[in-house]
Amino acid sequence: MEKLGNMKDYATDSVTLAVSISDRRHRADVKFIRAVSFKHAWEPIEGLLAKAPQNIWIRIEVIHSVQRKRRAQLERILHEMTRMNYWRQGVSFDADFKTALLEMCR
């Protein structure tokens, strides 16, 4: 993943990774890890994966950029969309990603 390019978000000066882990039967447990570099963000992920069973489902996503928007701005953007199933961004309702929705690509 590190060879994919620069993963640092210049707005937050950090790397944020979203790690989803599921046993394939239940909804994934998602953790957001923010660190000063990819290497520092990857260390806790290694710990999570070391404890996980072998037959799990894992998804790791990189948060490329964080933009703060007011609710009215978000509502305008959503209202102007012609097709709701083409939303290509995640949304976090707080700065620490405690309440967040990720984009789901197939």
What is the pLDDT at residue 97? 86
> What 8-state DSSP symbol labels residue 10?
T
**Does residue 24 carry a pLDDT above 70?**
yes
Tell me which residue has tokens 């990774």: 17
What is the pLDDT at residue 105? 57
Rounded to two decimals, the pTM is: 0.77
pLDDT band at 19 (very low <50, low <70, confident <90, very high): very high
Note the pLDDT tens digit of each residue in 34-56: 999 888 999 999 998 898 888 89
**Does residue 86 carry a pLDDT above 80?**
no
CA atoms within 13 A on the CB side of 6: 6
Answer whether 70's CB lies under 8 Å from 54's CB: no
